[in-house]
Structure 1
Amino acid sequence: MAQLNCIIILISIASCVLAEELYNDQYDHIDVNNILSNDKLRNQYINCYMETEPCLTADAKFFRDMASEAFQTKCKKCTEKQKEMMDTVVDWYAQNKPDEWQKIVAKSLEDMKKKNAGQ
């Protein structure tokens, strides 16, 4: 009986570890290619992320709030669609706007340092 209890406890612990909470999927329908190809939209999103201008949409704010962690953890909490979107954004900026990409990376690192210092 004691052995059965141990097995049940181990399974419960493993389930908790494996059941990583994912980011909300309510914005998974966003067409990231449309945003990247539109200078005005792209700049609105990047300025929101960089906190140089207010976020004009709820999805831009959501992206700003989760992006640094997602970049740093290789999208550990991302849905499959969010992983695809993040890969698209990373590839696009690395290829088309490498200077801006370096600023995004620096901001991401800064955000994670602040977050880790607060814990």
Structure 2
Amino acid sequence: MKLFLVACVLALAGAAFAARVPRYTEIYDTIDVPQILSNRRLLVPYVLCVLDEGKCTPPGRELKSHIKEALETECAKCSPAQVKGTRLVIGHLINHEPDFWNKLVNKYDPNHQYTKKYEQELRKV
């Protein structure tokens, strides 16, 4: 019984701590990422935005403001939808848009310290 009580207290303490971790805004979590990835007319402006080579929409500005930190922390402040979307985008860029992927890596992770993991994990064989 004591062990159960201790486990409950630790679980509650962990939940309270997790609730304090600041998160990125979830306002854009409902964006249809697969639709953007399947349409270059939609995808290219986002990529150019985060490369500082084009205009940014509000979601693009939000994305750009967190890319470096999200890479460095393995998306610690991301919502589940953001983690899923990030993996979709990275996988798509690695496998279908290598030129864009390489430009993004050169800009945000020139030493390949963080992106190497994603490349190994998400590259289609």
Deviation per CA, 1:67-86: give whole Å up to 9, x if none.
22212221111000000000
In structure 2, the partner of 1:84 is 84
Structure 2: 5+ residue runs without aligned partners? 1-11, 111-125
The DSSP-based 3-state class of the residue aligned with 2:109 is helix
Take 2:31 and 2:92, find their aligned partners in 1: how far apart are those partners? Answer: 16
In structure 2, the partner of 1:21 is 22
In structure 1, the partner of 2:109 is 109
Deviation per CA, 1:25-64: give whole Å up to 9, x if none.
0000001111111111111000000001111x21111111
Take 1:15 and 1:91, find their aligned partners in 2: how far apart are those partners? Answer: 33
Q: TM-score, length-normalised on structure 2? A: 0.70
Q: What fraction of aligned residue pairs are identical, expressed as a percent?
A: 31
Take 1:108 and 1:28, find their aligned partners in 2: how far apart are those partners? Answer: 22
Structure 1: 5+ residue runs without aligned partners? 1-10, 111-119
Take 1:108 and 1:16, find their aligned partners in 2: how far apart are those partners? Answer: 30
Q: Shift of the alpha carbon at 1:15? A: 5.0
Take 1:98 and 1:58, find their aligned partners in 2: how far apart are those partners? Answer: 25
Greater shift after overlay, 25-34 or 66-75? 66-75
The DSSP-based 3-state class of the residue aligned with 1:23 is coil
In structure 1, the partner of 2:48 is 47
Take 1:17 and 1:81, find their aligned partners in 2: how far apart are those partners? Answer: 17
Take 2:34 and 2:20, find their aligned partners in 1: how far apart are those partners? Answer: 31
Would you say the 8 A contact 1:35–1:41 is kept in 2?
yes
The structure with the greater share of residues assigned to helix is 1
Where has structure 1 moved over 3 Å in runs of 4 or more? 14-18
RMSD: 2.1
